[in-house]
Amino acid sequence: MIPQETVNRILDLAQIEDVVGDFVTLKRAGSTYKACCPFHNEKTPSFVVSPSKGIFKCFGCGKSGTAVGFVMEHESMSYVEALKYLAKKYNVEVVETEETAEDIMQRQRNESLLLVSEFAGKFFQESLKTQEGQTIGWQYFKSRGLEDETIRKYGLGWAPVMRTTFTEAARAAGYKEEYLLDTGLCKKYDDGRVVDTFHDRVMFPIHSVSGRIIAFGGRTLKTDKTIPKYVNSKETEIYVKSKSLYGIYFAKNEISRQDKCILVEGYLDVLSMHQLGIRNVVASSGTSLTVDQIRLIRKFTDNVTIIYDGDNAGIKAALRGIGLVLKEGLNVKVVLLPEGQDPDDFARKHTLEEVQDHIARNEQDFIGFKTDLLLDEAGGDPLKRATLINDVADTIALIPDAIKRAVYIQTCSAKFDIDEQILTERVSRSRTDMLIADKKEHDRAREREMARNRPSDDVPPPEIPDEYVPYDDSGYMPSVQQVPVEVPVEGIVVTEPYLAPCEKELLGFILEEGCTDLDFDRDSRFYVEGEKINVAEFIDGILADDDADFVNPSYRKVYEEYFRMYDEGLEQGQMRRRLLDHADAEIAAVAKDLLIEKHPLTVKNYEQSLTATATRLVIYVPKTLLTYQCKKVELESRRLTDELAVTTDAGRQMEILATLGEYNRLRTRLNNELGRV
């Protein structure tokens, strides 16, 4: 069987519109997509895909289901086969195991925790209807402007003053003490007494994306500073705070429909905004925004508007959030409220139209937000102004999409009246540094994981002896260089000939000189004071910077195999030997084509007169990368031009023309850079 955690990961990654879109041409219709049903013949589309619900439905033949169900139906697969198909699509490794007794127990345990949490939710709701609950809890909710429908919809409740009321009710209902303690709903003292964790507090249930109660937040109404204002559920198998968003269950449909998520900080911010009529709103529940929370938002939209308090704490929280959201590839805007007000206050003091108008008028991208925030501090000080510009450039560097980065660089250049090339160089350096740092951290994490899992008798594989292929001190094969060798290129798969020469040349640099440091001059855009980077990491960083992979399968396969060995810590010579003698004939063919020279130099003096290796690498590695980027832009421009010639959709035509304009500007910039390198 497939482990449950792997199944969960597959299901979390699978987006219904993405999966169905592999088989059916979908057209957006509001918050859903429509198409002609693939399961029966029809001329009028009746097949609907809902990203927010994660399902498809045909109103003609009646078929419906999830992403897994669609693959099962369309491809005539079993459930397990469909899961494996999706795992391959989303690059999830599947290691099958038999479901052990422990697996069954864990699955049953998770369900028990959910049932206890749902019982607690109903208990707190009913407690709100008691005289005590009405006098204290209900009156508090009313004082915050919440209506009965909002209280009911979100399941708000009251935890009684007595410390054992919930415990006794849960026991009477047959729930085991083990689960009461493990959900964090109860506590057990050393003397054996079991009491309620939440008491004398108003209660805010936290729901999963599917709508099940997984945790609670409890707020005290006392003014005693020694009592924590909020008490939250502890983390369990069913609740991880960093992966949960308050209100996501109630907001997901509207987020998808409006293609925008409004992010606030607290429970009451969500409730007041929702009650006012702004229903695409969620909260990070008082915690700093996390990557997992952003990825949860991304299941429903790529657009986030952050609305935090107008005080210093709110501004700092917004600044932290901007970087995380941009790095995950989402579009982010920020709205600051008047100082001293939070979204809850603002929503209660204004009408829906006033709040919507304020958001529309005050939404800023991160450049405008940071500029307005920091420019006053900089004043006329040129050093502070330079620091601000560098800060904005470093934020742009977080964006994974190259086109978006280019557009923001242009915006920043115009705003600060600074040369675009200078900004481009700063962004490029920052992004390269970031990607290298991320890779090193990833490698360290993987090494720690391997160390934890490595058996005590683990023995590393034997190294191939040096005499296997004769190398001199420079790392080249003298015997091959001295004798002309004709190497056939059969077995090398090239699917995109236009990009193949650049990919081959870049791969040649990596295989020949991958571990050689690049010694850039101080006036080079790639120079970083006090830092060195080798050829392999430089090429890998630039490609990752543009989210680019090799297109031709054979070259991509060798590239990935090289870096797999590189991550294992093998030396350059070892890697070359293993590639040349690889069990995969395709990899070996590419390695031989690149490493074994077909026309070796026979005149030693002429060979020595050529440009030094270090100089050659500094010149031609960046130049080849720029040429490769330029060719990719040209290739994509051709594809869009071909699409423009056949499409009749006016909206799509405008999108294509806008994108072509961006590509033309990018191509001009790349050509200018090629002239300077």
Q: Where in the chain is the domain with CATH 3.90.580.10?
A: 4-89
Backbone angles phi, psi at 254, to 5 degrees: -70, -35
Fold designation for 101-239: DNA primase DNAg catalytic core, N-terminal domain (3.90.980)
What's the pLDDT at 186? 95
Q: What angle do CA 49, 51, 53 make, to 5 degrees?
A: 95
Would you state the pLDDT for residue 553? 87
pLDDT at 171: 94
pLDDT at 5 > cutoff 50: yes
Higher pLDDT, 457 or 364: 364
C-beta atoms surrounding 396 within 10 Å:
25
198-249: pLDDT as tens digits: 999 999 999 988 788 999 999 999 988 888 999 999 999 999 998 899 999 8
pLDDT band at residue 443, thresholds of 50, 70 and 90? confident
Question: What is the separation of C-alpha 342 from the centre of its chain, rounded to a whole number of angstroms?
Answer: 28
* pLDDT the model gives residue 231: 92
Listed ranges 108-117, 268-277, 461-470; the one with the highest mean pLDDT: 268-277
The CATH code for residues 243-362 is 3.40.1360.10
Query: What per-residue confidence (pLDDT) applies to 603?
Result: 44
Mapped onto helix, strand or coil, the DSSP state of residue 676 is helix
pLDDT of 274 reads 95
Q: Boundaries of CATH 3.90.980.10 in the chain?
A: 101-239
Average pLDDT along the chain: 81
Task: Give the Cα separation of 618 and 406 in Å (integer).
Answer: 24
**Least confident window among 90-99, 264-273, 389-398, 660-669:** 90-99
pLDDT, one tens digit per residue, over 349-392 is 999 999 999 999 989 888 888 777 766 666 677 888 888 888 88
Q: Could you write out the three-class secondary structure of 36-89?
A: CCCCCCCCCCCEEEECCCCEEEECCCCCEECHHHHHHHHHCCCHHHHHHHHHHH
- pTM of the complete model: 0.57
Whether 155 has a pLDDT exceeding 90, the answer reads yes
Asked whether the beta carbons of 617 and 516 are under 8 A apart, the reply is: yes
pLDDT value of residue 469: 35
End-to-end CA gap in the chain: 55
The CATH superfamily of 4-89 is Zinc finger, CHC2-typedomain (3.90.580.10)
Amino acid (1-letter code) at residue 498: Y
pLDDT at 495: 83
How far apart (Å, rounded) are the C-alpha atoms in residues 661 and 412? 18
Outline which parts of the chain fall under CATH 3.40.1360.10.
243-362
Q: pLDDT band for 311, please (50, 70, 90 cuts).
A: low
| pLDDT at 98 (0 to 100) | 63
